[in-house]
Amino acid sequence: MRALGLDVGSKTIGVAISDTSGSIASALTTLRRAGQQPDARAICELVDTHEVEVIVVGLPLELDGTEGHRSRRVRVFVSALEAAQERDVRLVFWDERFSTAAAERTLLEADLSRKKRKRHIDAVAAQFILQGWLDHERNDGGEGRSSAP
């Protein structure tokens, strides 16, 4: 089962992909935002190219676990993504709190320059989101933090 992980921001979308066994997530790319429909089509092209079965979308919850304005923007994008799909790919949300901070720490530990960190941060954050979901699915059998749109 191949999965795609998304870190949806206001300017970019970080994208990660799993291996075909659904065990390991890798940063794939960072897409510049061009609008809901063009962005949704770009994700659908990646889904088709990589034969993805599940899209894991990071949901930016507030620290207290509630949904704020950023979560609502992500849900609007997911609605556009659902409308753009030509085949039925499962969409799930995953609590992404702290994924960008973890990605930043990882890139700092790798001693990347500020310019390189900026270029890779969103894809690495998507990798953290996707890996968390993959680990959860493998260890907990799919019960818990993820949810359908």
pTM higher than 0.85: no
pLDDT digits (tens, 9 = 90+) for 89-134: 999 999 887 665 555 566 456 555 555 545 556 888 899 899 989 9
Residue 45: CA atoms inside 13 Å, Cβ hemisphere, count? 7
The set of residues, in sequence order, having a beta carbon less than 8 Å from that of 56 and lying 6+ positions away, is 3, 4, 5, 6, 92, 93, 94, 129, 130, 133, 146
Domains of the chain with bracketed CATH: 3-140 (3.30.420.140)
pLDDT in tens, 24-73: 999 999 999 999 999 999 999 999 999 999 999 999 888 888 888 999 99
